[in-house]
Amino acid sequence: MIISGRKSVQAKETVLAVRPIAVIPPSGGKTKRTAHKLSDREKKMFRDMLMALREDVARQINKLKGDSLTRDDAGVSEEDGTDAFDRQFALSLASSENDALFLIEESLRKVDSGTYGICDGCGCMIEFPRLKALPFVQMCIGCQSETERKRMKFRPAHR
């Protein structure tokens, strides 16, 4: 197609993988209090999932800490800045993994006490698909969305 004497070039569609901060269902984020209570079989399934996750995360933390704390001093001094950045980045990832490990262990305690799947924010049952996707989640979608919305108010603007 020609427009004003020039060829029209079809732009390639660029798809960005953007993870939404919060997804609010049509119900306004409120989970029904009548969501089904977990059966013993489901509790065991989640316990097994959480145990496997805990092992994986602990292994990852140890690897990140080990990689960042071991250093080859025979390297070139020009690479010191890059090495320091890499170590700091690995330690930052390890910190995030530690946060996840805390949530996993908290979820395991809740399975043992019979409170697993109950939202920390409103006390409703967290929907089963959400628990299956994120077994260490502590809040229903509505409460998580509200928490993140409040957190964003205090986040500094990008420069």
Task: Give the DSSP letter string of the chain.
Answer: -EETTEE--PPPPP------S----TTTTPPPTTSPPPPHHHHHHHHHHHHHHHHHHHHHHHHHHHHHH---TTS-GGGHHHHHHHHHHHHHHHHHHHHHHHHHHHHHHHHHHT-TTB-TTT-PBPPHHHHHH-TT--S-HHHHHHHHHHHHHTSPPP-
**Average pLDDT of the chain, as a whole number:** 76
In a domain, 5, yes or no: no
The pTM of the full predicted model, rounded to 2 decimals, is 0.64
**Encoded tokens for 147:** 């928490």
Instruction: Tell whether the model's pLDDT for residue 27 goes beyond 60.
Output: no
- CA dist., res. 140 & res. 28, Å (int): 12
Does 13 reside within a domain? no
pLDDT at residue 156, rounded to an integer? 66
Residue 18 lies in a domain: no
Query: Across residues 74-89, what is the average pLDDT?
Result: 67
Region 109-120 average pLDDT: 95
Number of residues in the chain: 159
Look up the CATH number of the domain holding residue 57.
Answer: 1.20.120.910
**Domain count along the chain:** 1
Is residue 19 domain-resident?
no
* CA separation for the pair 68, 83 (Å, rounded): 9
Range of the domain at 53: 36-153
Would residue 4 count as lying in a domain?
Answer: no
Whether residue 119 is contained in a domain is answered as yes
In a domain, 27, yes or no: no
Angstrom CA distances, 14 to 1, 11, 17, 18, 56, stand at 22, 9, 10, 12, 34
In-domain check, residue 74? yes
Residue 68 binned pLDDT confidence (cut-offs 50, 70, 90): low
